[in-house]
Amino acid sequence: MEAEAAVVRRSVGRRLAGLFHGRPRLQVGALLAGPVGWLVIGYLGSLAVLLAAAFWSVDAASGELVQTFSLENFQTLLDEPVYKDIVGRTVLIAALVTVTDAILAFPIAFYMAKLASRRGKAILVVAVLLPLWSSYLVKVLSWRTMLSSGGVIDWALEPIGLSGPGYGNTAVWLVMSYLWLPYMILPIYAGLERIPNSLISASEDLGASPFTTFRRVILPLAFPAVVAGSIFTFALTLGDYITPRLVSNNQFIGNVIFNNISNNLPLASALALVPIVVMVAYLLVARKLGAFEHI
Amino acid sequence: MRKDSHPARTAWLVIAGLLAMMLLFAGCGSDDDDSTSGGETVEKLGKGEGKVNLISWAGYVEPEWTKPFEQKTGCKVNNKVAGTSDEMVQLMRTGEYDGVSASGNASARLFEGGDVDAVNVDLVPNYKTIFSDLKNQSYNTFDGQPYGIPHGRGANLLMWNSEEVQPAPTSWDVMLDPKKATKYKGKISAYDDPIYIADAAVYLKAHQPDLEIDNPYQLNDEQFEAAVDLLKEQRPLVGEYWSEATKQISAFANGDSTVGTTWQYQYFALQEEGKPVKASPASQGFLPSEGATGWSDTWMISSEAENPNCMYMWMDWIVSPKANAQVAEYFGEAPAQSLSCDQTAQKDFCAKYHAENPGFWKRVYYWETPLADCGDGSGDCKDYNEWVQAWTSIKG
């Protein structure tokens, strides 16, 4: 019996091996079925269900979903001026954070990629990554303490007759810029590393001033990397709701989604479509700017 | 990537596919699960399951009384603190919790949504001696059946920094009358939840009698608009909206906030830190002149409870004389258990908190769910969704 079973088992194995032999497409298909299935069903599928809810409505008394098609939620988003303010505020802060991070990150990334010694480079990479090892909440709460009235920032600015920004949009901008800076530095660093030093030398040999070299050679070559980094900073700011909640009174898209999710999921879903639409538009522009050419 | 492939076209195909899926789901959603009543009410208690998963307000589940419970029953207590009733409803709907200490603005929604089960009070021996004015109330009894065990009650407090705010305020006008509140611009601390609109309604009930507000949670168009307008006027003066107790404690501790609406939990925590905070004194019944919003909380059992036996044991334990006295004193609220008054560490605790004085609670408006039919079918009120949307536009 046992020997027979072993023979059967072996023959099944052999038949399977035979099936895959010489059929590379089938091999790849079998290999990818799991992960791709997960991506499509578990990830995109659940996203589709969530977004489908945007067309439903909710029974006010129980909070139960009423699954009939309507555009009511989108009408609400368009009619109530408060939602335009919130979307505008969120997109504006996301753009400001992105620009701030790009300006801060470029010199650091350039130094890391082109000027620092091997050792210095290693230290800087660790320094950039280090904040990512600590909890997001701890960082935001530290900023909350620093920004409070009479906190460290007020104290430091007092001798020159200024006071800190307190809680509000400025605080959100500061904290987000701090939080997402590493996500900007790393892509730019990777992009700059790929620019051969010989190109920079050639530009100098041809008589270009350092500024011209930067403007005509380095920046165009590194620009896709900046755009790639900006996708991170922009998307992360667009979706965050904890920072605004802790260092301001202002509502961002994420806050309103959070506030509605328990009793009005359809409205929350409709609102969740807004950042998706904004991001798709952003990615299309990024593609035009060549951010995906080297992927 | 091969030369002849078109990444853009593939991307568009994926997006189109997603959209198609989305519309498919939106169009043909089924509404076959009309399950307003969950499982059956428990008839007999079995053995404990070894754990119980709770959702509670800050300060309701503390080691002082959970440790003895765990030792006695073998049910390990896993607690999740929620900051708002919305959060509680949302967490309960995940089906991962056995029970919740729901306030009146969550209990009706949980019942309507079929998220909680009726409670067999025969299995909760301590229920008998609970104050009778807490039993069979509109927020804990539905279809004539008790849907939970009363936990305790209290009023939301007006708290201020006694060094900054003088003389001691006796009215909510210090936060809500635009003329008086300007003095504390940027230092006012308000509760971050749609139910806060009711605080404005309580104020208007006293100061604008022509609005004829009766119940601050069931408001018609005119009353609602007046309350919302009042809060929109207050908005630029508010320093911070809080929903996590810890956030408010830190704001009062470092001076970012000097006057605000609060719970006993934060008030005691700040006093313990030695901060100069005061609240309406006992001589005024802890209430500003208008009265106040408040809560009467109920432990409810989930219709999907995985540990119903441990949950029943917990509901009995938390209203047992000793434990209910402990939680009431710890939090600073009136106990639900009449026998707790002999068990409190402070001898006059029940008298101080008016636990045995039903008349006192007439000026405290327990949180309840705003309903379109005004709760009694009498008319045309703003439902909770409209409260939520108004709250979004108040905050701007």
- pLDDT tens digits, residue range B135-152? 998 889 998 999 999 999
pLDDT of residue A34: 85
Most confident of A9-23, A84-98, A125-139, B9-23: A84-98
pTM: 0.80
CA distance A136 to B381: 42
Contacts B254 to A, Cβ<8 Å: 145, 148-151
CA distance linking residue A151 with residue A161, whole number of Å: 15
Distance of CA A57 to the CA centre of its chain: 30
Angle at B2 between CA B11 and CA A35, to 5 degrees: 55
CA distance B232 to B196: 12
Is A53 close to B27, i.e. CB distance below 8 A? no
Q: Alpha helices, DSSP H only, in B74-196?
A: 85-93, 104-112, 173-176, 178-181
Residue B30's closest CA among A45, A261, A55, A68? A68
Provide the percentage of residues in chain A whose pLDDT is more than 90. 52
- The per-residue pLDDT string of chain B (396 residues; one tens digit each, 9 = 90 and over) reads 444 456 667 767 767 777 777 666 666 544 444 444 445 567 788 888 999 999 999 999 999 999 999 999 999 999 999 988 888 988 998 899 999 999 998 998 899 888 999 999 999 999 999 999 899 988 899 989 999 999 999 899 999 999 999 899 999 999 999 999 999 999 999 999 999 999 999 999 999 999 999 999 999 999 999 999 999 999 999 999 998 888 899 999 988 999 999 988 899 889 999 999 999 887 777 789 999 999 999 999 999 999 999 999 999 999 999 999 999 999 889 999 999 999 999 888 888 888 888 888 888 999 998 988 887 777 789 988 899 999 999 998
φ, ψ of residue A261 to 5 degrees: the values are -65, -30
**What is the structure's pLDDT at A264?**
84
Q: Which residues pair with A58 in a beta bridge?
A: A65
Nearest-CB residue to A62 (from B23, B109, B186): B109
List of domains in chain B: 51-154+295-365 (3.40.190.10), 155-293+371-395 (3.40.190.10)
- Inspect the interface and report whether the beta carbons of B113 and A62 lie closer than 8 Å: yes
- Tell which residue, B289, B252, B253, B258, has the closest CA to residue B363: B289
Assigned CATH topology for domain A72-288: MetI-like fold (1.10.3720)
Average pLDDT over all residues of chain A: 88
CA of A69 vs chain B CAs: smallest distance (Å): 6
Contact A148 B251 (CB under 8 A): yes
Q: Nearest CA to CA, how far is B343 from chain A (Å)?
A: 39
Two tokens, residue B53: 């998963």
Q: Which of B7, B372, B388 sits opposite A264 (nearest CB)?
A: B388
Question: Does B89 sit within 8 Å of A262, measured CB to CB?
Answer: yes
Tell me what pLDDT residue B274 has. 93
- Chain B residues with CB under 8 Å of A69 CB are 26-27
- Which pLDDT score is estimated for B32? 42
CB-CB: which of B89, B112, B254 is closest to A150? B254
State which residue of chain A sits closest to B16, comparing Cα positions: A48
Mean pLDDT confidence for A168-184 = 95
CB contact under 8 A, B30 and A67: yes
Residue B227 has a pLDDT of 97
Mean pLDDT, residues A196-200 taken together: 92
pLDDT given at position B8? 66
Closest C-alpha to B317, from B81, B111, B30, B45? B45
Chain A residue closest to B258 (CA)? A149
Rounded CA separation A130/B140 (Å): 51
Give the pLDDT confidence score for residue B35 in this predicted structure: 41
Q: Is B339 exposed, middle or buried (0-12, 13-18, 19+ CB in 10 A)?
A: middle
Q: Pick B388's closest partner by Cβ from A51, A61, A263.
A: A263
Dihedral-angle region of residue B141 (phi above 0 means left; psi in -120 to 50 means alpha; beta otherwise) = beta
- Per DSSP bridges, beta strands B292-302 and B149-155 are antiparallel
A48–B15: do the CB atoms touch at under 8 Å? no
**Mean pLDDT within A165-177:** 93
B-chain residues within 8 Å CB-CB of A241?
Answer: none
Q: Which residues of A touch B7 (CB under 8 A)?
A: 292
Whether B29 and A60 lie within 8 Å, measured CB to CB: no
Q: How far is B32 from chain A (nearest CA, A)?
A: 10
Using CA coordinates, name the residue in chain A closest to B251: A148
Q: Which amino acid is at A276?
A: I
Chain A residues whose CB is inside 8 A of the B250 CB are 144-145, 148
Closest chain A C-alpha to B371 CA, distance in angstroms: 6
Question: Which residues face B158 on adjacent strands?
Answer: B261
Residues B392, A256: C-beta atoms closer than 8 Å: yes
As a whole number of Å, the CA-based R_g of chain A is: 26
Q: Residue A60 has what pLDDT? A: 66
- The reported pLDDT for the residue numbered B45 is 84
Measured between beta carbons, which residues in chain B are less than 8 angstroms from residue A250? Answer: 395-396
Q: Which of A102, A119, A131 is nearest to A189 (CA)?
A: A102
CATH 1.10.3720.10 maps onto chain A at 72-288
Q: Residue A224, preceding bond cis, omega within 30 degrees?
A: no
pLDDT band of residue A169 (cuts 50, 70, 90) is very high
C-alpha B45/C-alpha B99 separation (Å) is: 16
Q: Nearest-CA neighbor of A204 among A195, A214, A194?
A: A214
Paired tokens of A248: 């301001």
CB contact under 8 A, B30 and A48: no
Q: Which burial class, exposed, middle or buried, applies to A21 when counting CB atoms under 10 A from its CB (0-12, 13-18, 19+)?
A: exposed
Looking at residue B29, what is its pLDDT? 47
Q: For B117, which DSSP code?
A: E
> Considering only alpha carbons, which residue of chain B is nearest residue A39?
B14
A52–chain B nearest CA distance, Å: 5
pLDDT number for residue A4: 62
Nearest CB partner across the interface for A85, out of B93, B391, B396: B396
Q: Which residue of B has its CA nearest to A81?
A: B393
Instruction: Write out pLDDT tens, residues A238-249.
Output: 999 999 999 998
Mutate which of A40, A262, A292 to disrupt the B interface (most B C-beta within 10 Å)? A262
Which residues in chain A have Cβ-Cβ distances shorter than 8 Å to B395?
249-251
CA dist A221 and A183 (Å) reads: 19
Identify from B25, B115, B163, B237 which residue to disrupt to test chain A contact, counting A C-beta atoms within 10 A and taking the largest count.
B25
Subunit contact B254:A148, Cβ cutoff 8 A: yes
Q: Is the pLDDT of residue A3 over 80?
A: no
A262 neighbors A63 (Cβ within 8 angstroms): yes
Contacts of A264 in chain B (CB under 8 A): 385, 388
Rounded-to-10 torsion of CA B139, B140, B143, B146? -170
What pLDDT shows up at residue A203? 92
What residues of A are in contact with residue B21 (Cβ under 8 Å)? 44-45, 48, 52
H-only helix segments in chain B = 7-27, 63-73, 85-93, 104-112, 173-176, 178-181, 197-207, 221-234, 245-253, 264-272, 308-318, 321-331, 349-352, 384-395
- Per-residue pLDDT at A6: 60
The residue in chain A having the minimum alpha-carbon distance to the alpha carbon of residue B27 is A69
| C-alpha dihedral sign at A98, A101, A103, A109 | negative
